[in-house]
Structure 1
């Protein structure tokens, strides 16, 4: 009996050890982010994977031009010809040295604005689309709110020059960039490392100011980026990266040190790539719950921690909830009731494949504990049998 108690105690201690190791491995590694605000999101699902003061209002500087670019791409054509005004040519700060009366295509202005951070190019675009900087800013803010869903952003110019009423958040900037990255024309410019600029008064090779994009900090998978700086905002940075099927967007806001946005961004991207993956329910898939069928209205992307189980539950209102191990809702999607005779594929509400995969790491611990317990139990039985014999 004493031997049985000892065996049981050993088994329980081993079980406790394996559980402790499992949860220790599941803990998120600590990040040492020096920028005052930062966020990394899944570029497909939009879910925040890590945030620091991500909802605090901050001054963005030239990363504003990401918003200007996507608004312009949806409101004019790349081959539109813009006549540069005196207001645009004389704007302060970084420029591509546009001359009054110079005629430049929107595409070339977007390249000069994103690669070389030309404030003059940004003003020229704004005036071309809406007639004035003020009207452009007003309409762009409406666009950002209505089309993208930002909640804490107000831009009063297209280039990011300081104004106390010109602000955003790390979270909003990540949303804006996620939206912009869906546009192929934006992606093509955003990833450019250099461009041969042939202007009326300036011929040169533009080289991106984003140090990760041009390889100063080696990092696999960088797909685009924009930096910014004014005294009031400090250094700001937006970066996109892809490895395999995982797209990430990292935003850092406010630091006075030039290297910090890049070291922070590397931490954020490594954290995302090391700990998460993206799942997807295809558009028009049928999901079943309580005898009712629902349709996925579009490809539904959601982010899951590596090794984490999740379930798909549909509530009575037809809303799909993705629920994790701790019974917390990861994200939700509205579904459409299925129309009769819909020709769609059927997807089970639960995801046994994911649950099976995420159970693999934990499985050996149970097996070893069970094995040791059985061996101990048989050993005790054998000794007791000998005594009784």
Structure 2
């Protein structure tokens, strides 16, 4: 597929302003015309932590969300006194510092009655009779639920507030599936291809259909795919409005999204219970379920630039491991969120889901392995056993008391120029696009190691 003339013009103009060579194409590692597609390789389900299944952006600086080096804040956190009921654990970097002149968002109010029923207000482990909590589960917060009935089988600090990392991408996916035709084409922009964090290997100037971008979003946790999709939805601000509105529609009381890619930002929080609501809705959508379970897909290259296409594999190791009944899920990691994971599986007519928040790999069990253990424990528990119900809403306070407009003010603050909307509209002056490229370039050069 050819490169768009507008992106080329913007790149040339930017190079003239910077006094450097034109910006053209993706990072150098992707530009190699001789790179071979990376084959799919499933890890052993019981293996010790290993490198993640490679994806199409092999050769790029390491951005995987499943890095297995020791995390920045090892150890299990004690939740018995509900220390994270209003705000998450302290950040270890500057990711949540507001932009100059912007106030820090106030914590979301806590509902008078917790969604899910009275036992969902507990902050330690609560479990139905017969559920044995696996020893390997080190996550600060988690939940096991029946997607069909809404029964909560077991949980730990289900309404504690934590950072989601990339499992937040489910909200963007739900909005896209609802609003955009899967066969609509989107031309990737420079700011999409050069975005910070994990990438699916999107190439500037190449056309992708919405379905392919969704696969990049869900299979490889591509922030580049998220950025391209946000452009099709109307830009950053509009996308944030839509994902926060979707969270409210699904009954969230603990969630505020400041970055739809899942990267940490001022005031961004969620809970295991809220994520259960989101993923229950997602796996009840046939399109989402199909895309999430995709093992391999072919990503296009750029013939004009001499870049070959490649095979992208699903980085959800619950699927790659051959876990019985695996349906899919989502990985996540930032330095502040630590490891997060969502896993779904179906057995004997039951569809169970798990959400794991704020965990590490120091004890030898990765987030997906903890999820697998929780799923096994859930399936071993008698049908109908429950200590909560996803269909019971919160009462009073919480994010449920904030309308979409309130959420926009909390998250976005004062309006600002929507850089992402520029080139996609076709009616913005080239100089504005160049300014956007310069700002994005500066942000890209200053990549912080926390963002993966």
TM-score range, shorter chain: 0.5 to 0.7
Q: 1:169-225: per-residue Cα shift (whole Å, max 9, x none)?
A: 11111110000111111111001122122233452211111111101xx52111112
Cα distance in structure 1, aligned partners of 2:293 and 2:144: 19
Cα distance in structure 1, aligned partners of 2:348 and 2:371: 19
1:143 equivalent to 2:246? Answer: yes
Whether the 8 Å CA contact 2:339–2:367 is kept in 1: the answer is yes
Match of 1:178 among 269, 275, 280: 280
Using a 3 Å threshold, how does the CA distance of structure 1 residues 224 and 30 change in structure 2: closer, same or farther? Answer: closer
Cα distance in structure 2, aligned partners of 1:331 and 1:123: 31
Whether the 8 Å CA contact 2:325–2:345 is kept in 1: the answer is yes
1:247 equivalent to 2:340? Answer: no
1:67 equivalent to 2:175? Answer: no
Report the equivalent of 1:297.
Answer: none
Q: 1:239-266: per-residue Cα shift (whole Å, max 9, x none)?
A: 1100011100111011221733133212
Report the equivalent of 1:109.
Answer: 213
Question: Structure 1 residue 102: deviation in Å?
Answer: 2.1
Taking the TM superposition and a 5 Å limit, the aligned residue runs for 1:55-204 are: 55-129=159-233, 131-146=234-249, 148-200=250-302, 201=307, 203-204=309-310
Question: Structure 1 residue 68: deviation in Å?
Answer: 1.1
Report the equivalent of 2:373.
Answer: 267
Q: How many residues align?
A: 258
Report the equivalent of 2:45.
Answer: none
With the length of structure 1 as denominator, give the TM-score of the two structures: 0.62
83-92 or 48-57, larger mean C-alpha shift:
83-92
Q: 1:122-141: per-residue Cα shift (whole Å, max 9, x none)?
A: 01101101x21122111211
Taking the TM superposition and a 5 Å limit, the aligned residue runs for 1:181-330 are: 181-200=283-302, 201=307, 203-215=309-321, 218-257=322-361, 259-277=365-383, 304-305=384-385
Cα distance in structure 1, aligned partners of 2:159 and 2:138: 16
Cα distance in structure 2, aligned partners of 1:113 and 1:174: 19
Using a 3 Å threshold, how does the CA distance of structure 1 residues 331 and 85 change in structure 2: closer, same or farther? Answer: closer
Cα distance in structure 2, aligned partners of 1:125 and 1:134: 13
Cα distance in structure 2, aligned partners of 1:263 and 1:44: 23
Cα distance in structure 2, aligned partners of 1:35 and 1:95: 26
Whether the 8 Å CA contact 2:131–2:378 is kept in 1: the answer is no
Whether the 8 Å CA contact 1:242–1:248 is kept in 2: the answer is yes
Q: 1:85-111: per-residue Cα shift (whole Å, max 9, x none)?
A: 232222111112323332211000000
Question: Structure 1 residue 332: deviation in Å?
Answer: 8.2
- Provide the secondary structure at the position in 2 that maps to 1:91: coil
With the length of structure 2 as denominator, give the TM-score of the two structures: 0.54
Cα distance in structure 2, aligned partners of 1:231 and 1:84: 28
Whether the 8 Å CA contact 1:138–1:156 is kept in 2: the answer is no
For structure 1, the residue ranges without an aligned partner over 5 or more in a row are: 1-24, 278-303, 306-323, 334-389
Question: Structure 1 residue 329: deviation in Å?
Answer: 9.3
Whether the 8 Å CA contact 2:171–2:246 is kept in 1: the answer is no
Cα distance in structure 1, aligned partners of 2:365 and 2:134: 16
Q: 1:345-389: per-residue Cα shift (whole Å, max 9, x none)?
A: xxxxxxxxxxxxxxxxxxxxxxxxxxxxxxxxxxxxxxxxxxxxx
Whether the 8 Å CA contact 1:84–1:98 is kept in 2: the answer is yes
Relative contact order: is structure 1 or structure 2 higher (C-alpha 8 Å, sep ≥ 6)?
A: 2
Question: Structure 1 residue 270: deviation in Å?
Answer: 1.5
For structure 2, the residue ranges without an aligned partner over 5 or more in a row are: 1-127, 393-452
Q: Which one has the bigger strand percentage?
A: 1
Cα distance in structure 2, aligned partners of 1:242 and 1:329: 20
Q: Which one has the bigger helix percentage?
A: 1
- Provide the secondary structure at the position in 1 that maps to 2:230: helix
Question: Structure 1 residue 74: deviation in Å?
Answer: 0.4
Return structure 1 stretches of 4+ with deviation > 4 angstroms.
Answer: 328-333
Cα distance in structure 2, aligned partners of 1:57 and 1:116: 26
- Provide the secondary structure at the position in 2 that maps to 1:175: helix
Cα distance in structure 1, aligned partners of 2:130 and 2:318: 28
